[in-house]
Structure 1
C-alpha cells in the first residue's frame, strides 16, 4: 500500500509540473492564426518631436527646435486619437530682451490641438499629427495672434 501512495504522489506531482509547463509555454508563445488579433493593421497616431522621436501624450514639447525659446510644459491631455488630440498647459516663451541668451521666459496658458493625421514617412506603420494649434486663453506674447498654428515635423 505504501508503494501505491508513493506512486500516486509521483503521478500527481508529474501532472502538476506538466500542466505548469504547458501553461507557461502557451502564455509565452506568440499569437497564431487561430487567435483573434486586436486589429491587424493597427496604426498609432504620434506626435513627432525635434529629434524625430514618437510621443504619445507628452508632458512637455519643444516648439522652437533651433533655440528652445518656445516650449510647451505641464501638458494635461483631454483627448488623444486618430481624429486629433487636445491638451491644456503652458507655453514658455523667451522674450529675447535684450537678446535671447539674456532673455526671460514667460508662461502663457494655452489650449493645444493636434490635427492632420498623416503617415509618418520615417516609420510608415505610424500615423503622425501634421499640425499644432495653440489658443492663448489669457495674455500672449507681443507679436502672437490669439490662435497660432504651426506645421509639425515629419
Structure 2
C-alpha cells in the first residue's frame, strides 16, 4: 500500500515538473521540432554506457552499499532523468559484512551531466524529507 502511494506521489510530481519544463520551452507557436535521442548516459562500474538501466549499481561500486533495482523511467533527457524503483541499502549493523539489507521504494533523479554522462543521483525515499544525493562512482570509457 505504502509503495503504491509513494509511486503515485513521485509520478505526479515528475509529471508536473515535465509539464512545467515543456510549457516554459514552448516559445513561438508552430511545428514542434523532431525529437532528438537522449545522449546522456550513466557510467557503469565496468565503464559501460548505460541508458535507461533497470538497475543502478554505480552509486557505490566498491561495496554496493546502495543500489536501485526494478527501475521504471518516466523521463530521460540530456540534462536529467527521473523514475522510481526499489532501493537496497546495507544497514551495516553490527557491521557492513554481517548487516542486513533494507529494501523500500524510492524516487530517482539523475542530473549534472558532464561529457554526456550523469554524475549525480538524488534518491527520494519519502515525500516529506529531503533526498539523499550521491556522486556516481562508475565511469564511462
Asked if these proteins are the same fold (TM beyond 0.5), I'd say yes
Which aligned segments of 4 or more residues in structure 1 are displaced greater than 4 angstroms? Answer: none
8 A Cα contact 1:73 1:90, kept in partner: yes
- 2:130 aligned partner: 146
State the alpha-carbon separation in 1 of the partners of residues 49 and 77 from structure 2.
14
- RMSD of aligned Cα (Å): 2.3
Deviations 1:47-77 (A, max 9, x none): 1122211101111111221111211111110
Give the SS at the match of 1:44: coil
8 A Cα contact 2:38 2:77, kept in partner: no
Give the SS at the match of 1:71: strand
Q: Which has the higher strand share?
A: 1
How far does residue 133 in structure 1 lie from its aligned partner after superposition?
A: 0.8
- Name the structure, 1 or 2, with higher relative contact order (CA <8 Å, separation 6+): 2
- 1:132 aligned partner: 121
How far does residue 148 in structure 1 lie from its aligned partner after superposition?
A: 1.0
Is 1:106 the counterpart of 2:102? The answer is: yes
- 1:75 aligned partner: 71
In the TM superposition, 1:9-24 aligns within 5 A as none
Query: Which structure has the larger Rg over C-alpha atoms?
Result: 1
**Structure 1 unaligned blocks of 5 or more:** 1-37, 120-126, 140-144
- 1:57 aligned partner: 52
State the alpha-carbon separation in 2 of the partners of residues 146 and 109 from structure 1.
15
Q: How many residues align?
A: 102
**Structure 2 unaligned blocks of 5 or more:** 1-33
Deviations 1:3-42 (A, max 9, x none): xxxxxxxxxxxxxxxxxxxxxxxxxxxxxxxxxxx9xxx8
